[in-house]
């Protein structure tokens, strides 16, 4: 499978499954567009207390990606998105965010995997 980077930037917090940090935090300027890492269907596009504006995309091969702490969501549930298409805007929303960044998660067959093993940010 080939993934494109949702944003380009410095990783401020690594994937640490043992600490329940199931993704990577990528620093990017406020209002940067966040892009879909792969073609797929949006299955979640909503607000949560901890992760703020969050979008989830279902891809082929039982793979999903999450994009958290956004300032705005550009797609709704059921939307088909192409790899590289803007799906959200960098933000600082939710109680688990302390500055503008993207918390990006990659899951395969229900198990979180380290996105840096598949994507160069």
Examine the pLDDT at 30 and tell me if it is beyond 90: no
Q: Does residue 6 lie within any of the structural domains?
A: no
For 24, half-sphere exposure in the C-beta direction (CA atoms, 13 angstrom radius) is: 22
Q: Which two tokens stand for residue 22?
A: 């199931």
Look up the CATH number of the domain holding residue 109: 2.70.70.10
**Which residue intervals of the chain are DSSP H helices?**
none
Q: How far apart are CA 73 and CA 60, in angstroms?
A: 22
Tens digit of each residue's pLDDT (9 = 90 or more) over 42-79? 999 999 999 999 999 999 999 999 999 999 999 999 99
Q: Is residue 42 part of a domain?
A: yes
Considering the domain boundaries, does residue 1 fall inside one?
no
Whether 29 is in a domain gets the answer yes
Which residues does residue 105 pair with via DSSP β-bridges, in sequence order?
A: 23, 66
Q: How much is the average pLDDT of 1-27?
A: 95
Q: Does residue 82 form part of some domain? A: yes
Statement: residue 20 has pLDDT above 90: yes
Q: What is the pLDDT of residue 9?
A: 94
User: Domain range holding 76?
Assistant: 11-117
- Say how far apart CA 18 and CA 101 lie, in whole Å: 22
Residue 4 lies in a domain: no
Would you say residue 1 has pLDDT above 90?
no
Classify residue 68: in a domain, yes or no.
yes
- Cα(112)–Cα(110) distance, integer angstroms: 7
- Determine, yes or no, domain membership for 83: yes
Model-level pTM?
0.96
Domains contained in the chain, number: 1
């Amino acid at each position: 499978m080939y993934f494109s980077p949702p944003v380009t930037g410095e990783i401020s917090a690594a994937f640490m499954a043992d600490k329940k940090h199931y993704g990577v935090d990528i620093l990017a300027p406020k209002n940067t567009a966040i892009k879909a890492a792969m073609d797929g269907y949006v299955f979640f596009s909503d607000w949560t207390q901890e992760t703020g504006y969050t979008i989830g995309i279902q891809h082929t091969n039982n793979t999903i990606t999450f994009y958290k702490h956004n300032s705005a969501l550009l797609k709704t549930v059921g939307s088909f998105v192409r790899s590289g298409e803007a799906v959200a805007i960098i933000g600082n929303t939710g109680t688990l965010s302390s500055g503008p960044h993207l918390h990006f998660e990659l899951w395969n067959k229900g198990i979180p995997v380290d996105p840096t093993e598949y994507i160069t940010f």
